[in-house]
């Protein structure tokens, strides 16, 4: 079945050009020319991937992404004319899977799309990680403690997933940064501590467990109590 791609881009000519190229590659394509329509369509759950421009009328791309991530983990590739590190960092932090700067070669976009879709295919496989009574369903992007669902942001989910994939092994802050954030935060490893705190408050403090342990001077480990 052809993957379905939503293109949210207000420059209609450009959107049509992308649509033509993607259709030629065998994808099914739908377009939205403003942020609100884009968000509505993206939330419908009928797309496998969203190409999202940042500069949009109505809601801008960052806001669309922020709202979309409350209910959906559909892969999103941000499109932007600006090539600033700040955009990249905030885009990835608000849950974008990738980022491409205009103007780009269509081959580059196609390669990014293939990569993002491949990742979902891997996520789509049944993969359940557990520790104690905590259960992470990687395919469905759901986290449960016994019968209680726990809401996690994309970053929290990824961090928890990485800890669980290495259950019982102490992970250094640097390793977690690299694996979960995927790029160098220039020594700002305390972002890891901040997210560990988020996870603890949502899991250990809430359910009275001690699953996430600090290993002083080294890093963190998740293990059965
Ligand atoms: Ca635009």
Confidence of residue 89 (pLDDT cuts 50, 70, 90): low
pLDDT(40) > 80: yes
Angle of the 61-68 helix axis to the 85-93 helix axis, nearest 10:
20
User: How far, in Å, is the centroid of ligand 1 from the Cα of 17?
Assistant: 14
User: How far, in Å, is the centroid of ligand 1 from the Cα of 12?
Assistant: 9
State the distance between the two ends of the chain, measured CA to CA, in whole angstroms: 45
User: How far, in Å, is the centroid of ligand 1 from the Cα of 179?
Assistant: 31
User: How far, in Å, is the centroid of ligand 1 from the Cα of 185?
Assistant: 28
User: How far, in Å, is the centroid of ligand 1 from the Cα of 94?
Assistant: 19
171 burial level (CB within 10 Å; 0-12, 13-18, 19+): buried
User: How far, in Å, is the centroid of ligand 1 from the Cα of 183?
Assistant: 26
Which residues is 6 bridged to in the sheet? 30, 50
Which residue has tokens 């490893």?
189
User: How far, in Å, is the centroid of ligand 1 from the Cα of 181?
Assistant: 27
Query: Is the model more confident about 128 or about 77?
Result: 77
Q: Please report the pLDDT score of residue 217 as a whole number.
A: 87
Q: Please report the pLDDT score of residue 139 as a whole number.
A: 74
Cα Dmax for the chain: 58
| Percent share of the chain, pLDDT over 90 | 56
Average pLDDT over residues 52-67: 91
Give the integer Cα–Cα distance in Å for 31 and 45: 15
User: How far, in Å, is the centroid of ligand 1 from the Cα of 51?
Assistant: 12
């Amino acid at each position: 079945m052809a993957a379905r791609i939503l293109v949210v881009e207000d420059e209609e000519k450009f959107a049509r050009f992308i649509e033509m190229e993607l259709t030629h590659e065998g994808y099914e394509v739908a377009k939205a020319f403003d942020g609100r329509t884009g968000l509505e369509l993206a939330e419908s759950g009928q797309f496998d991937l969203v190409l999202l421009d940042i500069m949009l009328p109505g809601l801008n791309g960052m806001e669309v992404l922020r709202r979309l991530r409350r209910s959906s983990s559909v892969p999103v590739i941000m499109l932007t004319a600006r090539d600033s590190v700040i955009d990249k960092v905030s885009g990835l932090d608000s849950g974008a899977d990738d980022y491409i700067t205009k103007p780009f070669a269509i081959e580059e976009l196609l390669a990014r799309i293939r990569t993002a879709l491949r990742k979902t295919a891997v996520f789509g496989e049944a993969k359940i990680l557990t520790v104690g009574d905590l259960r992470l369903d990687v395919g469905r992007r759901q986290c449960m403690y016994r019968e209680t669902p726990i809401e996690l942001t994309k970053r929290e989910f990824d961090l928890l997933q990485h800890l669980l994939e290495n259950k019982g092994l102490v992970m250094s802050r640097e390793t977690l940064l690299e694996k979960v954030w995927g790029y160098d935060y220039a020594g700002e490893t305390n972002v890891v501590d901040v997210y560990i705190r988020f996870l603890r408050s949502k899991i250990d403090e809430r359910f009275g467990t001690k699953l996430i342990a600090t290993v002083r001077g080294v890093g963190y480990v998740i293990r059965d109590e």
